[in-house]
Amino acid sequence: QVQLVESGGGSVQAGGSLRLSCAASGLTRGKVYCMGWFRQAPGTDYQGVAAIYTGLRTTYYADSVKGRFTISQDNANNMLYLQMNSLKPEDTAMYYCAADLGACYSGLNRGGYNWWGQGTQVTVSS
């Protein structure tokens, strides 16, 4: 059973930076995964933010975060990261780590991910 635990959220002023971490357990050595970050602001649907295919380290980003956010992985320690720079108030949301076995066929579509963390809150003030 894959388990995902996020950390690193917090409150920051616009223009600031945060680095989210996701500790993954239960991953099978030798298999590849699609791992991603999603966010949900109050009253809105989930939005795919970024994803990475662990096999080739191919990355995917939502247009709204391109050039500001960077997704990365540390396979040796089963960690996933999201470096967020130039944060804006509209980035305020609960951020979730998600994973699925295999390539990122679904891209940033929420339905393509089988395992989810509990989330970490990011608040950006103007």
Q: How far apart are CA 55 and CA 25, in angstroms?
A: 17
Which pLDDT tens digit goes with each residue over 91-115?
999 999 999 999 998 889 998 899 9
**Distance linking the first and last C-alpha atoms of the chain:** 40
pLDDT band for position 30 (50/70/90)? confident
Residue type, 17: S
Q: What percent of the chain has pLDDT over 70?
A: 100
The DSSP secondary structure of 54-112, one letter per residue, reads TTTTEEEE-TTTTTTEEEEEEGGGTEEEEEE-S--GGG-EEEEEEEEESS-TTTT-GGG
- Those residues whose C-beta lies under 8 Å from the C-beta of residue 112, and which sit 6 or more positions away, are 34, 100, 104, 105, 106
Q: What angle do CA 33, 39, 106 make, to 5 degrees?
A: 40
Which pLDDT tens digit goes with each residue over 72-97?
999 889 999 999 999 999 999 999 99
Does the pLDDT of residue 29 top 90, yes or no? no
